[in-house]
Amino acid sequence: MSDLQALETEITAAIEAAGDMAALEAVRVASLGKKGSVSALMKSLGGMSPDERKEMGPKLNGLKQTIGEAIAARTQGLRNAELEARLAEEKIDVTLPIRPESQGTIHPVSQVWDEVVQIFADLGFSVAEGPHIETDFYNFEALNIPPEHPARQEHDTFYFNPRDDGSRMVLRTHTSPVQIRTMETEEPPIRIIAPGRTYRCDSDQTHTPMFHQVEGLVIDETTHLGHLKWCLEEFCKAFFEVDEVKMRFRASHFPFTEPSMEIDIGCSWEGGQVKIGTGDDWLEILGSGMVHPKVISASGLDPEKYQGFAFGMGIDRIAMLKYGIPDLRAFFEADLRWLRHYGFSAFDVPELAGGLSR
Ligand code: PHE
C-alpha cells in the first residue's frame, strides 16, 4: 500500500472513531488544518519536479477531497445521533394522569368573560374586537363626544405623546369604539358583543387603571327599546343563574345613546353577602340606550334607515357580584392565595347546556 493510501486509511478510521464533535474537529485539524498532515503534503508539492507534481497533485487533491467528504458525513451522523438522543430523552407520555400537585386556576375575569360570551352566543351575538390603543376619533369623536365635551373629563384618559401632526392616541377608556369599527366594516343586521380591556387613570377599592368591559351592539331596521330590555333581562337571569331578576331602568345620559338608561338589579344583603335577583336594594350593573343617530352616521350608515341599541357592562364588576369578591384591586395583584381561593378549575368550562357555573 502506498504511503498516501495508508494515510487515507488512517485518517478515515480516525474520523469514523470520533465519538463527538470535539474529537472530529481534532481529526480535522490534524489532517486538513494549517499544520495538518495532508496540508504538509500539499505544501511539499512546491518543491517537486514538474513531472512529480503532475502525478502527485491530483492524488493529493483527491485525498483532501475524500477526507473532507468523510468529515462532512460524520458531522451529519453525529448531529443526527445527538437529535435522536435528545428526542428520546424529551419524550413525554401524554397518557399519564395529571399530576395531583398542579394548582393553576382560571382567573375569575376569564371565567366570567367566557360565561358572558356563552350567554350572548346563545342569543345570536358574535364576538368583535378592537385595538386597545385608539385614536381620538374612535374613542370620542365618532361617539358624539366632541373635544370640549365634559364626558372627556369623566373618562380620566391615558394619553400618548402627540404625534407629528399634533394628534394624540389614547388607551381606550371604554369598549364603545368597537361599535364604530363594527358599523364601519359590517353590513346590518349587526349583533355583536365586544369584551376586552379598557383603561382609565383611576385607582381605589372599586377602580383599577386597567379593567374589563363588554360592549353590546344591535343594529338593524326595526330593533327598539323593548328588545334592549328583553335582551338584558335574559342575560341577567342566565348570568346570575336565577329564574327571576328584578330590574330597574333608570333614565341617564351618554352622548352616544338617546334615550340612555342605566340598569340596576334588585338584591338583598344577608350576613354581609349579597344575594342577586330579589330584595329591596339596587346595584347598578350597566349603561345602555338606543344608538344615537349621529353615531350611526359617523360610522357611515344611514340613520334614517338603521337603528338599534348598545350597552356597556363592567366584567370585573359583575364577577365581583356573582362570586362575592370584595376588592377589585386584588383581581390584578397575582396573589397566589387569592387565585387559589377565587380561581376556577380548568375543567369548569362555562356552557349553558350543562348549567353555566355548576
Ligand atoms: N361606554 C359607556 C361607559 O363606559 C357604557 C355604555 C356603552 C353606555 C354603550 C351606553 C351604551 O360608561
142 and 258 belong to one structural domain = yes
119 and 191 belong to one structural domain = yes
Helix boundaries (H) for the chain: 3-17, 21-31, 37-44, 50-89, 108-122, 136-139, 151-154, 177-185, 225-240, 293-298, 315-323, 336-342
9 and 62 belong to one structural domain = yes
Query: Is the backbone of residue 198 left (phi > 0), alpha (psi -120 to 50) or beta?
Result: beta
DSSP 8-state class, residue 181: H
278 and 145 belong to one structural domain = yes
Q: What's the chain's average pLDDT?
A: 91
What confidence tier does 1 reach under pLDDT thresholds 50, 70, 90? low
**Residue tagged 340596576 (cell numbers):** 264
> CATH number of the domain that 114 lies in?
3.30.930.10
- The whole-number pLDDT of residue 80 equals 93
pLDDT in tens, 223-280: 999 999 999 999 999 999 988 889 999 999 999 999 999 999 988 877 777 778 778 8
Query: 209: CA distance to ligand 1 center in Å?
Result: 17
Query: With 80 as the cut, is the pLDDT of residue 101 above it?
Result: no
What confidence tier does 346 reach under pLDDT thresholds 50, 70, 90? confident
Average pLDDT over residues 8-25: 91
Residue 19 lies in a domain: yes
Give yes or no for residue 287 CB within 6 A of ligand 1: yes
**Higher-scoring residue by pLDDT: 281, 182:** 182
Query: 158: CA distance to ligand 1 center in Å?
Result: 18
Give yes or no for residue 74 CB within 6 A of ligand 1: no
Q: pTM of the prediction? A: 0.72
299 and 247 belong to one structural domain = yes
250 and 193 belong to one structural domain = yes
Give yes or no for residue 139 CB within 6 A of ligand 1: no
DSSP sequence for 59-79: HHHHHHHHHHHHHHHHHHHHH
52 and 142 belong to one structural domain = no
119 and 203 belong to one structural domain = yes
Residue 103 lies in a domain: no
Query: With 90 as the cut, is the pLDDT of residue 349 above it?
Result: no
Give yes or no for residue 199 CB within 6 A of ligand 1: no
What confidence tier does 197 reach under pLDDT thresholds 50, 70, 90? very high
Distance (Å) of CA 318 to CA 113, 128, 298, 321: 10, 20, 31, 5
Give yes or no for residue 309 CB within 6 A of ligand 1: no
Could you tell me the three cell numbers for 87? 428526542
Q: How many Cβ atoms are within 10 Å of 150's Cβ, its own excluded? A: 8
Query: With 90 as the cut, is the pLDDT of residue 296 above it?
Result: yes
Give yes or no for residue 312 CB within 6 A of ligand 1: yes
Residue 357 lies in a domain: no
The alpha carbon dihedral of 143, 147, 150, 152 has a sign of positive
Residue 152 lies in a domain: yes
73 and 149 belong to one structural domain = no
Percentage of the chain lying above the pLDDT 70 cut: 99
Average pLDDT over residues 10-30: 91
Query: With 70 as the cut, is the pLDDT of residue 358 above it?
Result: no
Residue 356 lies in a domain: no
Average pLDDT over residues 45-74: 90
Residue 25 lies in a domain: yes
Nearest-CA residue for ligand 1 atom 7 is 312
Average pLDDT over residues 34-50: 88
What confidence tier does 309 reach under pLDDT thresholds 50, 70, 90? very high
- Each residue of 121-144: b (16+ CB within 10 Å) or e? eeeebeebebeeebbbebbbebbb
Residue type at position 196: G
Domain encompassing residue 9? 2-90
pLDDT in tens, 69-87: 999 999 999 999 999 999 9
- The whole-number pLDDT of residue 280 equals 87
Query: 286: CA distance to ligand 1 center in Å?
Result: 8
Query: 115: CA distance to ligand 1 center in Å?
Result: 20
Nearest-CA residue for ligand 1 atom 6 is 312
Residue 354 lies in a domain: no
pLDDT in tens, 169-178: 999 999 999 9
Could you tell me the three cell numbers for 93? 407520555
Residue 279: CB partners within 8 Å, gap ≥ 6? 246, 266, 267, 268, 269
103-108, long-range: CB within 8 Å, 24+ apart, which pairs? 103/340, 104/343, 104/346, 105/339, 105/340, 105/343, 105/344, 105/345, 105/346, 106/343, 106/344, 106/345, 106/346, 106/348, 107/331, 107/339, 107/343, 108/319, 108/323, 108/325, 108/331, 108/342, 108/343, 108/344
Give yes or no for residue 257 CB within 6 A of ligand 1: yes
Q: What is the largest CA-CA distance in the chain?
A: 115
What confidence tier does 198 reach under pLDDT thresholds 50, 70, 90? very high
66 and 189 belong to one structural domain = no
Helix, strand or coil for residue 180?
helix
Provide the domain count of the chain: 2
Residue 15 lies in a domain: yes
Helix (H) or strand (E) holding 217: strand 210-220
Which of 126, 123, 114, 95 has the alpha carbon at shortest distance from 235?
123
Could you tell me the three cell numbers for 314? 363592567
Closest ligand 1 atom to 174 CA: 4
- The whole-number pLDDT of residue 102 equals 63
- The whole-number pLDDT of residue 283 equals 85
How many Å separate Cα 187 from the centre of its chain? 27
Average pLDDT over residues 113-139: 97
**Residue tagged 357555573 (cell numbers):** 357
85 and 129 belong to one structural domain = no
Q: Which of 42, 61, 90 is the last residue of a domain?
A: 90
74 and 161 belong to one structural domain = no
